[in-house]
Structure 1
């Protein structure tokens, strides 16, 4: 750590200190919903010429802060008032943790001098103790007890958010402290130095030299490390085939000769076939190896050995019962070190991919010809959207169709969480990402169930003049639940909507552009119009079949 002291001695309000701190991290937009206890901070954000983005729900603000942090490669910030404002953000904090997104959640708190009295929206130990509520889903959660320790708490929160496995942090700040004067020279900023290289690199070379049928399995952590070129180079030098986890989709291009597609839930046949024929060394980069990622594994196809790159050792060696070597630390830095010391003539693995990565479309043909096939829609959208389009997959059947049928043309252009999986998160993430990169094409794949939960955030995009494109796959139900219940129990209960949503009309009512599509021609026309729209978000509703089985059969075994 490098200690950098801010030498000025100007006296500022605590709210100004916080705003300067946020701005100093490269964050120019803050997402949230105002409330009495955070008004001084909201005013300070406005006065410092930062933008306070008003969300429609505090959870949506947290999702937007995640998308902003991931896209801007910096700190994201979400603000909510005391009591319910804070509890509304807890789900998005848990989602930030699953993405290892460095998001600072700031919640209000009644004045300290009133603690112990009966107060509305109390966040103290006498009410809803937000510090304790946030602890399980953040790396650090604390209440600022005095203006004298505000600097240290901000400093500690930043260290926790940005170092090691990155993640969310939370500060509860009483409203009277926000208005106190503080000498700004007390502020210390810490710059995290380059991560340490793992001591197991030599063992990595030894194990790879002995391998005869290895494979790379790339997870969501490779997105955070931005290790795309290093992964591709490693694969090409040794001729190692590459699979991604569901959350790792987007880290490796689909049509590379070494690509086997996605492994696990929603996975490609090519990846499954390679696994079934035996792997002696599995090199895992940036994955916890959750049940969705390991759904294709069973007792007869476990790899002989595993090398696992991860910045967090919590789950290393616990999902696959194989001899495991951990490469601890930042994946990009460790891979760069490996590539630097790779022999000039490394042993080339004998591999040629002869299996189609994307499965054929008629695996589970539907009898419903009145509505669209979600699988076919994914292939169509890939042909319509430019290769550089950045897509956020929401949690539901629609994204599992995308895992199998929506190919990745450039690394870093597809994001999906296969760990926490809050429905509706993709809507907020895509809006936050668009706020960070207004000149990039940002899309979201979501469903009608997700839209019911967080669809009103479309209004936020309207007011921000963000032409994000949101595709809503609508079949009138919670589709994964419906298919799961029917597969396991023979019937489904409580998963269909008696009155189905009209997403295009909802979008129009919120000031966005809405299209309802029953044909591929309508999808093409709506998409081309959306790509030309300079200001407003576009919601393109795809009316898809109710009985089409998504590629999630492994979840039911």
Structure 2
């Protein structure tokens, strides 16, 4: 016989989990102690939301992350992180406690059943599976259901609430294998793709974050190059295709650039959509006259297919990587039938978009979304910051963008040299989540170099996790754009309602001082040269580094296209 908590921790260890993130509390003390017994590092987060984000970043690199919080507020604090993981499709195991199953129904502190704060019910809408293990004998079936939901199919977070007395209950030990993620079946509709491709005169390959999730980087590149397809990415799809590639038109949607916008404005007869549900963040200003004539949409599930664009849509269901691999196998045979493939890659994205070489900058200025440089403005701008990051960061570095203007400046201006080197969520968009994701990813893959791109507003929300990074040895480089305000909301309110109430910090955050108080090495930069020197120094250090970039508070973000 073994205790429930022992069997549980043995499974996590066997499944490759070496770190669990959380904040201890009485209801989960057995879990914390048993993690140590099994050689699992219990990473003390500074807040349960931070623990959930850190588990999300860990899951992104390891395939499974675990966050543990005590009953009551420990669990409720993790709910936002669960919502972020669900939209990001990250397989995170959320574990919460409860004082005592046997005492349920009596007045209990931090009660997590329906007599108090029902965590099982609260987690249901932000996870793929949420259940309470009310006796030890059901652990095996509940654990099997939870891990299958987490790591197979569409993937995402799950939640188990295990009361204190159940954690310590003796049970017959068992062993569950880690579910293998099947590649999935190949769509029977793939043969209908080639006629649409061969007949298209102005096609566009439109990539979302599903390419990140499936790891289909090589497949989309081969498809684009094989058919000479121009490529645009959604904000969340930034990083799925190198922006330096001749076929890249950059990003479209919120924060998108002029090349993709101009190309779409001039007409698209076939839109090949891979890994995006085409949310309002991806199509914020698309006019009816700009709708494509036909759509081919690759996605795991049909929930939003055909809902955003009133155009005939060929739905290719299943894993994008699997279906693209099958499609690419047929390309050579199809070409051999005498039907010519599309034209070869063009010389520049601006040329393919129908722009003259310098037209991109002019389009930005005319759109009113980008402010022309001002001699009297502060020396450093967000746009310049992105240019310097692209210049100084090595190709192997991976940038994780937080939610705010800073990341939309990156969506438009940051050069991506390697597919998979930029990660950003534009849908759930919880501010500060990238701070935790960067820490979790760094601990999951310590030989990689991770850079967190965040802002002062995000740091106000989850900046205490800098201390977690220092104490756990997560040597992330945090680049914090500081303009003393919630910039995206500030500029949006100014443009649309003429007021900016509640968006400016009366006393701005001293990021360098704050970071140093958390134990970080910190730099403050007000010029491009200072930023270059700070980044170069940070790359040479093996410690947690925070770089504060003091940017122009009046610079307009590239997000004003959404109403």
Alpha carbons 1:152, 1:187 under 8 Å: kept: no
Q: Which residue of 1 aligns with 2:340?
A: 347
| C-alpha distance in 2 between matches for 1:297 and 1:545 | 30
Instruction: Please state whether the residue corresponding to 1:472 is helix, strand or coil.
Output: strand
| C-alpha distance in 1 between matches for 2:487 and 2:103 | 49
- Do residues 543 (structure 1) and 550 (structure 2) align? yes
Instruction: Please state whether the residue corresponding to 1:342 is helix, strand or coil.
Output: helix
1:127 to 116, 131, 143: 116
| C-alpha distance in 2 between matches for 1:357 and 1:529 | 34
Q: Which residue of 1 aligns with 2:439?
A: 431
Q: Which residue of 2 aligns with 1:382?
A: 390
Alpha carbons 1:59, 1:91 under 8 Å: kept: yes
Q: Which residue of 2 aligns with 1:311?
A: 300
Q: Which residue of 2 aligns with 1:513?
A: 521
CA separation of 1:213/1:104 partners in 2, compared to 1, >3 Å: closer, same or farther?
same
- Do residues 281 (structure 1) and 270 (structure 2) align? yes
Q: Which residue of 2 aligns with 1:30?
A: 20
C-alpha displacement of 1:162: 1.1
- Do residues 486 (structure 1) and 476 (structure 2) align? no
Alpha carbons 2:54, 2:439 under 8 Å: kept: yes
Question: What pairs with 1:366-515 in structure 2 (closer than 5 Å)?
Answer: 367=374, 368-515=376-523
Q: Which residue of 1 aligns with 2:35?
A: 45
| C-alpha distance in 2 between matches for 1:30 and 1:358 | 50
CA separation of 1:234/1:160 partners in 2, compared to 1, >3 Å: closer, same or farther?
same
How big is each residue's C-alpha offset from its partner over 1:35-58, in whole Å with a ceiling of 9 and x where there is no partner?
111111111110001111111000
CA separation of 1:17/1:232 partners in 2, compared to 1, >3 Å: closer, same or farther?
same
Instruction: Please state whether the residue corresponding to 2:553 is helix, strand or coil.
Output: coil
| C-alpha distance in 2 between matches for 1:476 and 1:59 | 24
- Do residues 233 (structure 1) and 222 (structure 2) align? yes
| C-alpha distance in 1 between matches for 2:215 and 2:70 | 34
Instruction: Give the TM-score normalised by structure 1.
Output: 0.95
Q: Which residue of 2 aligns with 1:365?
A: 372
Instruction: Please state whether the residue corresponding to 1:32 is helix, strand or coil.
Output: strand
Q: Which residue of 1 aligns with 2:239?
A: 250
Instruction: Please state whether the residue corresponding to 1:325 is helix, strand or coil.
Output: strand
Alpha carbons 2:7, 2:174 under 8 Å: kept: no
CA separation of 1:192/1:518 partners in 2, compared to 1, >3 Å: closer, same or farther?
closer
C-alpha displacement of 1:347: 3.0
| C-alpha distance in 1 between matches for 2:453 and 2:277 | 24
CA separation of 1:122/1:272 partners in 2, compared to 1, >3 Å: closer, same or farther?
same
| C-alpha distance in 1 between matches for 2:153 and 2:176 | 23
C-alpha displacement of 1:188: 6.1
C-alpha displacement of 1:525: 1.4
Question: What pairs with 1:190-201 in structure 2 (closer than 5 Å)?
Answer: 190-201=179-190
2:141 to 152, 155, 167: 152
C-alpha displacement of 1:384: 0.9
Alpha carbons 2:198, 2:341 under 8 Å: kept: no
More divergent stretch after superposition (191-200 vs 275-284): 191-200
Instruction: Please state whether the residue corresponding to 2:239 is helix, strand or coil.
Output: coil
| C-alpha distance in 2 between matches for 1:133 and 1:357 | 53
Say what the alpha-carbon RMSD is for the aligned residues: 1.6
CA separation of 1:119/1:371 partners in 2, compared to 1, >3 Å: closer, same or farther?
farther
Instruction: Please state whether the residue corresponding to 1:65 is helix, strand or coil.
Output: helix
C-alpha displacement of 1:453: 0.1
C-alpha displacement of 1:96: 0.3
How big is each residue's C-alpha offset from its partner over 1:63-113, in whole Å with a ceiling of 9 and x where there is no partner?
1111111122x1111110000000000000000011111111111112111
Alpha carbons 1:268, 1:358 under 8 Å: kept: no
| C-alpha distance in 1 between matches for 2:222 and 2:113 | 52
| C-alpha distance in 1 between matches for 2:559 and 2:434 | 19
1:64 to 51, 54, 67: 54
**Residues matched between the structures, number:** 544
CA separation of 1:404/1:15 partners in 2, compared to 1, >3 Å: closer, same or farther?
same
C-alpha displacement of 1:185: 3.1
Q: Which residue of 2 aligns with 1:328?
A: 317
| C-alpha distance in 2 between matches for 1:165 and 1:204 | 23
Q: What 5-or-longer segments of structure 2 have no aligned partner?
A: none
C-alpha displacement of 1:440: 1.2
Q: What 5-or-longer segments of structure 1 have no aligned partner?
A: 1-10
Alpha carbons 2:296, 2:314 under 8 Å: kept: yes
More divergent stretch after superposition (472-481 vs 15-24): 15-24
2:73 to 65, 84, 99: 84
How big is each residue's C-alpha offset from its partner over 1:424-478, in whole Å with a ceiling of 9 and x where there is no partner?
0111111111111111111011110000000010000100122210011101000
Instruction: Give the TM-score normalised by structure 2.
Output: 0.94
Q: Which residue of 1 aligns with 2:85?
A: 96
CA separation of 1:514/1:359 partners in 2, compared to 1, >3 Å: closer, same or farther?
farther
C-alpha displacement of 1:191: 3.5
- Do residues 21 (structure 1) and 11 (structure 2) align? yes
| C-alpha distance in 1 between matches for 2:359 and 2:66 | 38
Instruction: Please state whether the residue corresponding to 1:343 is helix, strand or coil.
Output: helix
More divergent stretch after superposition (191-200 vs 301-310): 191-200
